[in-house]
């Protein structure tokens, strides 16, 4: 019995100081500014009580939590939930550690933003509002700015159209100390367009039909976006009728149906035509306007060599200057004018060459040429004249008559 007591006396019993030291070793060391993992113990109306593996529990006040506007703590947080928080105070005076998830999340977000910028990662953000010179976007609680010049490859007239939308962007500039964050949608859009453009050129073929948007009007035609690439609708492929300017048919921003006429993949050029211009009127011209038939038309153009007459939209014929009148015509404007309605006779039809020869003269009274219907001059017998002078005088009169007839 005495040996047992002696053995107990020889065992070392730890002192209170030693016990506290061992306890401290088992607990987490914390200091202000640390980002720690903590577990929600309970959810109150104004704060969360959390366990961070420290000798004391922690408190996160409502103002230091990431909380949706108008939401209660119980709507977003529950017991057992693990959060990342920054230590604001190690001791609030009551022995509690004060933490903030708001500050911690911003530090972590800035770290992620920096990494995204360095790697060129594409991130998705939501546009909150439009301001002077650009739009403001939210990046996990951080205010980001997208200048108008970096919003799109195209010019943006109304920035308000982006409000409330989600955009894919890259980080152009990030400074957590200055809290400056510049984003770009333009770079992402340019890459997307290039990828789409490559795919379209690989699959595009003649006679494909697209619904496109008129981007720009030029004197020679219109550029139409067919879903990532632009094609040209030449002015001659907008209407079978002759038009002065593409604006006679189209307007910028208009949605149109187009058909692919030709694809030059090496030069990356696409020729388009308007799909709704109707059937080519030259296909049926021979049946509708046979040689010898008469039709009413309208003078649409004048040239030195004649007048162009439209017998229907897209179908024009030439009345040569020699077919304008029974009399000699010096210039077409002497007998006809643009906009004038005239009756014409069909002289020749060439559907392949898209040529139609017409005549106004042959529908007039005495439409045949005067030299064609004039009587032939009789053969002159010089022997019947009494002398050389008389013969010469009479021959001169005959030749003059012939010349006069030829001039007519």
Q: Quick one: pLDDT at residue 340?
A: 94
Taking each continuous run of H as one helix and of E as one strand, the counts in the chain are: 8, 20
Q: What is the mean pLDDT of residues 311-338?
A: 91
Q: How far, in Å, CA of 62 to CA of 73, rounded?
A: 7
Residue (of 204, 144, 223) closest to 179 by Cα position: 144
Tens-digit pLDDT profile for residues 219-278: 999 999 988 788 999 988 887 777 789 888 889 989 988 989 998 888 888 999 887 666
Q: Quick one: pLDDT at residue 31?
A: 87
Q: Quick one: pLDDT at residue 25?
A: 53
Cα-Cα-Cα-Cα dihedral sign, residues 212, 215, 217, 222: negative
Asked if 88 contacts 39 with a C-beta cutoff of 8 angstroms, the reply is no
DSSP single-letter state for residue 141? T
Q: Is the pLDDT of residue 196 over 60?
A: yes
Q: Quick one: pLDDT at residue 7?
A: 52
C-alpha to C-alpha distances, 145 to 117, 119, 293, 319, nearest whole angstrom: 14, 20, 72, 66
Q: Is the pLDDT of residue 29 over 80?
A: no
Asked if 282 contacts 354 with a C-beta cutoff of 8 angstroms, the reply is yes
Q: How far, in Å, CA of 131 to CA of 168, rounded?
A: 19
Token readout for 398 is 């005959």
Q: What is the pTM of this model?
A: 0.50
Q: How far, in Å, CA of 371 to CA of 147, rounded?
A: 80
Which position has the higher pLDDT, 103 or 125?
125
Which position has the higher pLDDT, 171 or 29?
171
Q: What is the mean pLDDT of residues 133-146?
A: 92
Count of CB atoms situated within 10 Å of the CB of 365:
5
Element (H or E) spanning 99, and its range?
Answer: strand 97-100
Q: Is the pLDDT of residue 333 over 60?
A: yes
Q: Is the pLDDT of residue 115 over 90?
A: yes
| Residues β-bridged to residue 221 | 218, 234
Least trusted range by pLDDT, from 25-29, 145-149, 274-278: 25-29
Q: Quick one: pLDDT at residue 378?
A: 47
| Average pLDDT along the chain | 83
Least trusted range by pLDDT, from 5-9, 60-64, 204-208: 5-9
Q: Residue 84, Cα to own-chain centre: how many angstroms? A: 44
Q: Residue 132, Cα to own-chain centre: how many angstroms? A: 24
Token readout for 359 is 């005549």
Q: Is the pLDDT of residue 386 over 70?
A: no
> For residue 369, what pLDDT band results from cuts at 50, 70 and 90?
very low
Share of the chain above pLDDT 90, in %: 46
Q: Give the N- to C-terminal CA distance of the chain in Å, as an integer.
A: 162
Asked if 212 contacts 174 with a C-beta cutoff of 8 angstroms, the reply is no
């Amino acid at each position: 019995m005495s040996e047992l007591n002696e053995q107990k006396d020889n065992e070392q019993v730890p002192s209170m100081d030693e016990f506290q030291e061992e306890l401290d070793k088992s607990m987490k060391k914390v200091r202000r500014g640390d980002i720690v993992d903590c577990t929600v113990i309970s959810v109150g109306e104004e704060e969360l009580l959390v366990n961070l593996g420290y000798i004391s529990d922690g408190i996160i006040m409502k103002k230091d939590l990431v909380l949706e506007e108008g939401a209660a703590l119980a709507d977003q947080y529950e017991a057992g939930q693990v959060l990342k928080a920054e230590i604001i105070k190690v001791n609030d005076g009551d022995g509690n550690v004060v933490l903030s998830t708001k500050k911690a999340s911003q530090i972590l977000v800035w770290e992620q933003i920096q990494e995204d910028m360095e790697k060129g990662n594409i991130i998705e953000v939501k546009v909150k509002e439009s301001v002077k010179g650009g739009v403001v976007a939210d990046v996990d609680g951080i205010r980001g700015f997208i200048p108008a010049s970096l919003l799109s490859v195209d010019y943006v007239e109304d920035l308000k159209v982006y409000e409330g939308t989600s955009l894919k962007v890259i980080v152009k500039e990030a400074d957590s100390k200055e809290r400056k964050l510049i984003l770009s949608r333009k770079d992402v859009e340019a890459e997307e367009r290039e990828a789409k453009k490559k795919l379209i050129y690989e699959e595009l073929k003649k006679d494909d039909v697209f619904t496109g948007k008129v981007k720009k009007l030029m004197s020679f035609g219109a550029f139409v976006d067919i879903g990532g690439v632009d094609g040209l609708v030449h002015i001659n492929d907008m209407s079978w009728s002759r038009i002065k300017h593409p604006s006679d048919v189209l307007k910028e921003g208009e949605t149109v149906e187009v058909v692919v006429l030709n694809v030059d993949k090496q030069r990356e050029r696409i020729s388009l035509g308007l799909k709704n211009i109707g059937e080519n009127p030259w296909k049926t011209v021979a049946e509708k306007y046979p040689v010898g038939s008469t039709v009413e038309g309208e003078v649409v153009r004048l040239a030195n060599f004649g007048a162009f007459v439209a017998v229907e939209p897209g179908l024009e014929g030439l009345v040569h200057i020699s077919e304008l009148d029974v009399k000699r015509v010096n210039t077409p404007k002497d007998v006809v004018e643009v906009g004038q309605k005239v009756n014409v006779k069909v002289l020749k039809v060439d559907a392949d060459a898209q040529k139609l020869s017409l005549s106004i003269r042959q529908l007039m009274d005495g439409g045949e040429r005067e030299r064609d219907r004039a009587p032939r001059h009789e053969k002159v017998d010089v022997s019947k004249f009494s002398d050389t002078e008389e013969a010469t005088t009479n021959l001169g009169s005959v030749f003059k008559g012939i010349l006069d007839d030829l001039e007519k």
